[in-house]
Copies of this chain bind each other. A is one copy, B any other.
């Protein structure tokens, strides 16, 4: 956080940091303004409400990440030409822009927050997430469906859903894997984590189609 940043910017950056570390509900406007060395009234002057500040925190970061995802997917599909893009490349286009930023000091807090945002009860935030990810889900599902053309569309959606879950769990609390593995796993190795995640998810996506469970008559 630059000391020379404007009050408005400092408030957004501070809110992001505290949201990521303590949760959004647990973070009061007073704690934000105190940490940002600003006045309590400044939040209402610059944003109007806590909810509006929260929307700024998210849209500011989600837009560049999701734009980069779409750019990468464009490149991947262009490189594949007429044929379907490789799963690993599609996954890299989706995971890379988020995972790579998890070690960028400017982005690390938001990436954790991004892992927790799905669990936030705020209806306004869930609506914003829906808007921000609508295009992403449509484009990536379509790309996956082209490569996995032997699978029903619903199956592709399920598997992409499972992929998102693994990613979210991985970025929401990097220290967790270190704890549960007794120190065996090193979450600071982002390249390694990304490679592992892509290998795992690509294999899952390539799994043979399952019967619905009603089979074997």
Which A residues contact B (CB, under 8 angstroms)?
21-23, 25-26, 115-116, 118-121, 130, 133, 137, 153-155, 157-159, 161-170, 172-173, 176-177, 179-181, 184-186, 189, 191-197, 199-208, 210-214
How many whole Å from A58's CB to the nearest CB in chain B? Answer: 15
Inside 8 A of A185's CB, which chain B residues have their CB? 154, 157-158, 161
Do residues B170 and A167 form an inter-chain contact, with CB atoms below 8 A?
Answer: no
Do residues A164 and B169 form an inter-chain contact, with CB atoms below 8 A?
Answer: yes
Do residues B153 and A184 form an inter-chain contact, with CB atoms below 8 A?
Answer: yes
Q: How far is the CA of A162 from the CA of B23 in the complex (A)?
A: 23
Do residues B130 and A179 form an inter-chain contact, with CB atoms below 8 A?
Answer: yes
Query: Contacts A155-B196, A207-B199, A210-B196 known; A169 to B162 CB distance under 8 Å?
Result: yes
Do residues A177 and B199 form an inter-chain contact, with CB atoms below 8 A?
Answer: no
Out of B167, B173, B191, name the residue touching A118 (CB < 8 Å): B173
